[in-house]
Amino acid sequence: MNKFTEYIKLSYDELMNKVTWPTWEDLQESTIIVMIASLIIALVIGVIDIASSTTLGFFYQLFQN
């Protein structure tokens, strides 16, 4: 049990004193970048989906008649 207690103490010390945490501004900037990238990727996937659906619908109509 002593090793476990020592591990917890060392882990706490490392998290509080040795880790460099990002600033609030850095976190906000990163969040905005991720949100913008997610929206762009969603739009690209949406455009690809609509284009492929339209193209396949056109081909289905050609061969249906």
At 20 the three-state DSSP class reads coil
Using the predicted structure, report yes or no on whether residue 1 has a pLDDT greater than 90. Answer: no
Distance from chain centroid for Cα 19:
23
Which pLDDT score, from 0 to 100, does residue 64 have?
A: 84
The three-class DSSP label of residue 25 is helix
**pLDDT given at position 65:** 63
What letter represents residue 31's amino acid? T
Rounded to the nearest integer, the mean pLDDT of the chain is: 95
Q: How does 21-49 read in b/e, with b if 16+ C-beta sit within 10 Å?
A: eeeeeeeeeeeeeeeeeeeeeeeeeeeee
SS3 46: helix
Instruction: Point out the least confidently predicted range of 15-19, 41-45, 61-65.
Output: 61-65
Residues 19-50 have pLDDT tens digits of 999 999 999 999 999 999 999 999 999 999 99
